[in-house]
Structure 1
Amino acid sequence: MTSDMFIPDSPTATISGRPLSWYAKRLSVMQPGEVLTRLGSQCGLAVLSIRHHLGLAAAPANRLEARGYRFCRAMEPQLPIWIYRAHLDPGICNRVLAGGLPEGGWNWRWDDEPDVWHTAPDTGRTWPARFFGSIPYREGNTFGDVRRVWEPSRLQQLVTLARIAVEGPAALRERAVGLMEAQFLSWINANPYLTGVHYISAMECGLRLLAVCHAFDQVRPWLRRPERVWLAVVRLVEGHAALIRQRVSLHSSLGNHTIAEATALLYAGLLFPEMPHASRWRMAGLTLLESESSHQVLADGGGIEQGLCYLRFVSDLFHLASALLDARGEPVPDGLEQAVTRSRSFLAAMTDEAGALLSIGDGDGGYALGPVLDFTPAVSGRATGLTTFEASGYTVLEPAGSSGTRLILDHGPLGMAPCYAHGHADALAVLLRTGGQEVLVDPGTYTYTGHPEWRKYFRGTRAHNTVVVDGLDQAVQETAFQWSSPYTSRLLTCKECAGGDTILIAMHDGYLARTGVVHWRGILYRPPGLWVILDRLTGSGTHDLEVNWHLGLTPVPDGDGYMLDGSIGGLRLMVEGGAVAVHRGQTAPIIGWRSSFYGAKEPMDTLRMSRRGTLPHEFVTCVAMGDADGAGRQAAVSRLRTVMDDAHTH
């Protein structure tokens, strides 16, 4: 989730610290209307910059004191309380009470020094305190990964503290509310209007607005300094909403940013109707949410951006908007309710038996309101067998009677046109769990703007369980948030056969234009525990081919294959078709890494099969539970090859 606005940095050959070639690439996907809109936005930002330099760009003036707003003077909560979890995890509570964030991986701790809000967690450097439009923040900047410094300033930890205050005893309540006030007022003092890195992204402003409203709505009877807190809330809401309205993400930047910004505008308009522009904010936010509900959430419930983290994010935002409208007695658009229902069903299918969302596409660990929401999709009673999500392009196989076993085949598009910003080049990638253990995994995301070489790796084809041709990605990485030459994937065969076999056949054309190669992948599952994956590369000429298997278990050489150490049921991995090597934590080139949390990475085992030669060529991979019957395995491979031949012919 990073801003994609054009923001001038200095009157030099770079803009926002980026070479002009970056803007040439970005302009290549814009329609003329968008170019004109952005030029107008740039003019507005230039005026805002001048006013800021002259000290004239104060937050919008409030006609009323805080007590003039019903939201501030009410004695009862003004936001729906049923949306919160009944109980919070003790580990989360302990972290936020110690000044940390709900999710422990962010490595941030609050103190009463202003720089705590501006110090980059990844580099230790301090982001500058100047007009937000003059701060370079994209990849290649000298400060760090901007996403990591933004997280604490979403102020979602305040919502968690508020839940602790509501649920806990009086002594704990006093401590939680005191910490809420101290952090909030510290942020206000350290971030004058339009100054610093936290005003760069309109979406970040939107998430902060939501968090502040939800946090202080819950603890209003126990505030120590209510007048000061509510005045700060009013000024933040009006200033943030005005800035969001001016900089809503539209055109080629439509995406999860847009939904967060629209939800914040709806909140500002509904909760603070006394503000001069409240009706405009409300209408703009609701209109965007309604129009985007069928765009962001596909017909089968999947997300158009092809990132599960972002689908959960927009689903929660749609749910928050629906709950607010309902609580205020406003009609909820059908499209909004349907988007929530569709996305919840899809997310349930992409959640493991422990309730964790799988890692597919970009994911930065972001939440709409923190981990306090009770919008988690139910996973109990999920149907077994084959389920195909045609619009988003995933097929899920959960064999009946095989607890904790699931295979997912990705045969979907790259992402949301025209930039495909959060998509990964993972066509025909496979994820496999069995016995509740990860076998074939998606390595994750790691970073957005902090380390270009790592960003390139984790979103590239080599970091996924699929085939690489001539060292290329299946699409072309133009920038950290832009792809070109998108591929088309197709599911050709999906059937449960007599005798118990299940067969999937798919193909993609990501390499066709650049190398003349087409990748076909066939998968056969034979109960009770044999998976066969056959990769066929067709075309002409000589090519470098490789298939990478990113393993959640440690491979130990064993005869003609590998035992997966620690696996339940004794899994074996057998491969043929090329030279085999296991890589772990290597950097030249990068391979053998995973990122289980944004900003963190750790070594993992990656088994690579590679071959240089002419086409056609096949790689065969088998994962078998228990003692592998060689003859039975070869029979399964032969049957899969026959079905692939038929699919290829027709």
Structure 2
Amino acid sequence: MRKSVPRTIVADLRTLGRAAPLRAAYELSKRSGFHQVLFRGAPPQHHRATVVPLTTSVPTGPEARQRCLDDARRVRQEGLRVFGQRAATGVTADWSTDPLTGRSWPAHEPWWRIDIRSEARLSDVKYSWEAGRHRDLVVLARAARLDPDGPWCDELTGLLRSWHEQCPPEQGVHWHSSLELALRAISWSQVLALVGERLPVEVVTATERLLLASARHLMIELPYTVSSMRNNHMLGDALGLILLARMFPTARHATRWARTGERMFAAQWRRHLAPDGRMIEDSLSYHRFVLEMLIVRVLLGNAPAQLRRDLHSASLHLARLGVFDGDLPQYGDWDEGRVLASSGDPLDVAGSVALGLVLSGEQVPAQWYAEYDELAWYAPTAPEVTAPTTSTRAADRPGTSAAADHGGRSAVGRPGAVVSGGIGYVSRGPWQVWFKVAGGPSHGHADLTSVWVKHDGRWLIADPGTGTYNGPLDVRNGLRTSAAHPVRRPDGQDQLVPHRAFRWLHTASGHLGAPLVLADRTILFGWHDAYARGPRPVRVGRAVVVADAYVAIVEFADEPAAGRRWSLTVPLHPDVTVEGNTLVSGGTKVDLFGLPGHTLVRGRSTPFAGWHSHTYGSWEPATWITVEDRADTTVWGLGAVPGTPQAHALDGLGFAVTWQPTSASLAVTDLLSGEVQHREVPT
């Protein structure tokens, strides 16, 4: 215990870096009572809001209109949408009600005195915050616009009135996070733009007062944001200031809000995105979240040209990885976080990507405007005649077909491969395979060189998801560490080693080469240095071979395996069962090879293993295949392989890796002809 406390402090200080003194001063202000002084000042002078339209049109097509009205009915009858379920919070219960437990957070306590982090807290605050983001209020405003004679405006008025009464400035859990205030401001701006003229004057005035108080809060909380939230939170807080400055241009400090917001947004966006479209947050959900922040900044107007280019690359990154072919692996943390309002499937990322492509100058199929709310409500009016997106045509984006195939989604099964942002995607025959080699510093999981597999559109090897952030730590770590991912682990080591709920004790870098596309097979190769630490450092690599009949993984290490035990977990989708050496999903049966002596784990609590989380806050039993061996190089996979795979050979091909201090090179030899092809992958 004596050693763990200093180690924890060192890890925290390393994470904060030069911002540690500022964070320390902020925490002292909260504990000393100085926050009471900071937030006790006179309320901001009232100003009337200027309409800032984030949407340019109301959809004319029946699909989007019906989705909205159906969703609005569910809001009235079942409650607000919170992580795959409907919650009474705000609709038939107070806004302070925790959707998870049904109990109430302190409603009339200053927010900084409410414990949301320790084990003594009421609950996981994300549930209450999700309801308080008010995207469902935007749905009601849309319904009122589409159906003026319906009950939607009265319902919306009641929800806003109850919020104004129950959530006064700086009181209660809904004022605890600046990001929540910014996201709520984005929702309210849309409500005022859609039906502001139909709302009672006192409701509009109260909304405006809370928006002005939100701007004041965002400015006072800047020390915390800039010291500790150099991620999506800084982008969101900055976006809130930019929006509020546009909504209240006559406010005394509006110019300062705008200037501060633009500087923060520009600084964070530039360090947040890489040229290839990946982000520092190694998470599919957070990629969409930030993508939508970039979209809102573009919709606000006068966005820098570079921002539009980065929006394009961030959208294209997911398009290349097959987002229009269906759902992708749930890389990293997943919590359904959104900025935009949609009545569609909250797990579908494609609509945000489609909107990002449109706003960055792409053409997309007209039917997408009917399929995706993000286009129907936020994009310019759907064109009558469109062509496939220039960036997602098969000729330009290997691995998928033209975007217009199959009602707007690209066809699966056409041979091809693409590498984008440290992830490889292969579509060949009945297979879709993702090979994730690189990672990022935030919201990622310990999953370097993980391989995820679909067969005929059904998941076989499936990312187990997130489970929780703030719930039981055994669940949190049980789903984000290497033991929950199909990665090779020497002596049971974790790639990163968890520290607290969001941090890691170590960092690692992964490197992925260009695809090697042969006439009958596609090969990807990558390696990482996550285990290049400690008394027995080792680098590991993988070749992923995809043929029409099988998917094979060839394992490599740069050190002999003498005395070392290798572990491997292969997490399966909950619908998959194992019968001997066969995976069964529905009517599909696929052979499993190369994992002799494997054991099965399903729904085990201690230690936590054998689970799958479809969305935040829930998990269900799923079969995990576990293996331990002492082999230096092994071959394993799914499907029917001709002959018997050997340690360095598979289906007429031989594989060998040459390791250098800063690179690894894969040699693939045709054992019949002797022809050799190479893929060198440097750091």
Partner of 2:424: 395
CA contact (8 A) 1:523 1:534 kept: yes
1:449 aligns with 2:470: yes
1:474 aligns with 2:495: yes
**How has the CA–CA distance of structure 1 residues 547 and 493 changed in structure 2, closer, same or farther, with 3 Å as cutoff?**
farther
**CA distance, structure 1, for counterparts of residue 437 and residue 607 of structure 2:** 27
1:587 aligns with 2:605: yes
1:312-331 mapped onto 2 (5 Å cutoff): 312-325=288-301, 331=302
**Amino acid corresponding to residue 278 of structure 2 in structure 1:** G
**Amino acid corresponding to residue 437 of structure 2 in structure 1:** H
1:38 aligns with 2:32: no
Partner of 2:509: 488
Partner of 1:261: 237
RMSD value, Cα: 3.0
**CA distance, structure 2, for counterparts of residue 632 and residue 412 of structure 1:** 28
Partner of 1:424: 445
1:80 aligns with 2:55: yes
1:20-419 mapped onto 2 (5 Å cutoff): 24-32=10-18, 34-42=19-27, 45=30, 46=32, 48-51=34-37, 57=40, 60-64=43-47, 68-71=48-51, 78-82=53-57, 86-87=64-65, 89=67, 92-102=71-81, 105-110=84-89, 116-129=94-107, 130-138=109-117, 140-167=119-146, 169-172=147-150, 175-223=151-199, 225=200, 227-248=201-222, 249-251=225-227, 253-325=229-301, 331-353=302-324, 355-371=326-342, 375-377=352-354, 381=393, 383=397, 384=399, 385-389=416-420, 392-399=421-428, 402=429, 405-413=431-439, 415-416=440-441
**How has the CA–CA distance of structure 1 residues 562 and 234 changed in structure 2, closer, same or farther, with 3 Å as cutoff?**
same
**CA distance, structure 2, for counterparts of residue 621 and residue 555 of structure 1:** 18
**CA distance, structure 1, for counterparts of residue 221 and residue 35 of structure 2:** 14
- TM-superposed deviation, 1:323: 0.9
3-state SS of paired residue (1:425): coil
Deviations 1:358-387 (A, max 9, x none): 410111111013326963426974532221
| Structure 1 residues not aligned, in runs of 5+ | 1-17, 72-76, 326-330
Deviations 1:223-245 (A, max 9, x none): 2x2x2111121111111111112
**How has the CA–CA distance of structure 1 residues 158 and 354 changed in structure 2, closer, same or farther, with 3 Å as cutoff?**
farther
Deviations 1:364-411 (A, max 9, x none): 11101332696342697453222112xx31111123xx36x3211111
3-state SS of paired residue (1:502): strand
**How has the CA–CA distance of structure 1 residues 51 and 112 changed in structure 2, closer, same or farther, with 3 Å as cutoff?**
farther
**How has the CA–CA distance of structure 1 residues 110 and 345 changed in structure 2, closer, same or farther, with 3 Å as cutoff?**
same
CA contact (8 A) 2:422 2:437 kept: yes
CA contact (8 A) 1:365 1:597 kept: yes
CA contact (8 A) 2:545 2:551 kept: yes
CA contact (8 A) 1:518 1:539 kept: no
CA contact (8 A) 2:509 2:528 kept: yes
CA contact (8 A) 2:98 2:127 kept: yes
- TM-superposed deviation, 1:298: 1.4
Partner of 1:6: none
Deviations 1:588-633 (A, max 9, x none): 211111111111111111111223x4xx533422211xx6544589
- TM-superposed deviation, 1:449: 0.9
- TM-score, with structure 1 as normaliser: 0.83
- Please say which of residues 312-321 and 508-517 is displaced more in the overlay: 508-517
CA contact (8 A) 2:648 2:656 kept: no
**CA distance, structure 2, for counterparts of residue 449 and residue 320 of structure 1:** 28
- TM-superposed deviation, 1:582: 1.6
- TM-superposed deviation, 1:63: 4.3
- TM-superposed deviation, 1:138: 2.2
**CA distance, structure 1, for counterparts of residue 117 and residue 652 of structure 2:** 50
**CA distance, structure 2, for counterparts of residue 99 and residue 351 of structure 1:** 34
Partner of 1:622: 637
3-state SS of paired residue (1:446): coil
**Amino acid corresponding to residue 101 of structure 2 in structure 1:** T
Partner of 1:10: none
**CA distance, structure 2, for counterparts of residue 181 and residue 350 of structure 1:** 42
- TM-superposed deviation, 1:458: 1.3
**CA distance, structure 2, for counterparts of residue 408 and residue 298 of structure 1:** 20
- 2:527 aligned residue (459, 482, 507): 507
**CA distance, structure 2, for counterparts of residue 507 and residue 111 of structure 1:** 49
Q: Give percent identity, aligned residues only.
A: 24
3-state SS of paired residue (2:452): strand
**CA distance, structure 1, for counterparts of residue 553 and residue 587 of structure 2:** 19
**CA distance, structure 1, for counterparts of residue 262 and residue 329 of structure 2:** 30
CA contact (8 A) 1:213 1:233 kept: no
**How has the CA–CA distance of structure 1 residues 524 and 484 changed in structure 2, closer, same or farther, with 3 Å as cutoff?**
same
Partner of 1:575: 594
**Amino acid corresponding to residue 410 of structure 1 in structure 2:** K
- TM-superposed deviation, 1:79: 3.9
**CA distance, structure 2, for counterparts of residue 235 and residue 641 of structure 1:** 70
3-state SS of paired residue (1:505): strand
- Please say which of residues 453-462 and 539-548 is displaced more in the overlay: 539-548
CA contact (8 A) 1:301 1:346 kept: yes
CA contact (8 A) 1:207 1:369 kept: no
Partner of 2:376: none
Deviations 1:475-504 (A, max 9, x none): 12111111121112122563113x422222
**CA distance, structure 1, for counterparts of residue 322 and residue 585 of structure 2:** 25
**How has the CA–CA distance of structure 1 residues 183 and 470 changed in structure 2, closer, same or farther, with 3 Å as cutoff?**
farther
**CA distance, structure 2, for counterparts of residue 635 and residue 43 of structure 1:** 60
CA contact (8 A) 1:522 1:644 kept: no
**How has the CA–CA distance of structure 1 residues 641 and 606 changed in structure 2, closer, same or farther, with 3 Å as cutoff?**
farther
**CA distance, structure 1, for counterparts of residue 459 and residue 91 of structure 2:** 42
**CA distance, structure 2, for counterparts of residue 124 and residue 472 of structure 1:** 40
3-state SS of paired residue (1:535): strand
3-state SS of paired residue (1:583): strand
- TM-score, with structure 2 as normaliser: 0.79
- TM-superposed deviation, 1:575: 2.9
CA contact (8 A) 1:584 1:603 kept: yes
**CA distance, structure 2, for counterparts of residue 51 and residue 247 of structure 1:** 13
**CA distance, structure 2, for counterparts of residue 563 and residue 25 of structure 1:** 42
**Amino acid corresponding to residue 576 of structure 2 in structure 1:** T
3-state SS of paired residue (2:592): strand
